[in-house]
Amino acid sequence: ASWTSLVLGAGSTPVVTNNTTVAPDGTTTADTIVFSSPAGASDGSLWYQPSIPCVSGATYTGGIWVKASAVGDVGKVILFRHANSSGLYMEVTLTDTWQQVSRAEVAAAATTNYQFGLRPNWGGSSGTVTVHVWGAQFELGSSATAYQKITDYNTEFLAAFPDHALYQDSAGTTPVTAV
């Protein structure tokens, strides 16, 4: 599933600009997201990835690199959660340097969604917050590993997972013998 916005109440649609700043790995691949939400009980401005398959009851770790976009955003709080998407958010106080935030959660169902942004009534800042983000991860296990970017399926994915089975037909009975 692709990343998309989740707007609650009087919150605003997050504005995402790709590849705007230098990421922790030195490449210009970090995105800038502007969140905006008033302090109402049901308001929110979130960026999320819906319908991520997982195993209910298993532990997953989600992580993301974040940094305040401007001096005025330092000290503001964004929220983050993933596998237990009905649970409480992790509060992340923005700084002027990159920080990798992560948390292990037990999956509450067979699918989940990965969220971060503003929900003032849940502990996040209200108003407008601009943040740089990079390297979102969601992985099985209780701790975050080093970021592993996959941009080319044929060379990177197959090299990382050489035993992954691919099938030509929808029934899954005829294996692909060459890519």
Does the predicted model carry a pTM greater than 0.85? no
pLDDT tens digits, 49-106:
888 888 999 998 889 999 999 999 999 999 999 877 667 899 999 999 999 999 999 9
Quick one: 11 exposed, middle or buried, by C-beta within 10 A (0-12, 13-18, 19+)?
Answer: buried
CA distance 19 to 28: 6
Answer whether residue 32 shows pLDDT above 50. Answer: yes
- Show the tokens assigned to 65: 């690199």
CA distance 121 to 37: 10
The continuous run of DSSP H or E covering 158 comes out as: helix 158-160
Answer whether residue 109 shows pLDDT above 80. Answer: yes
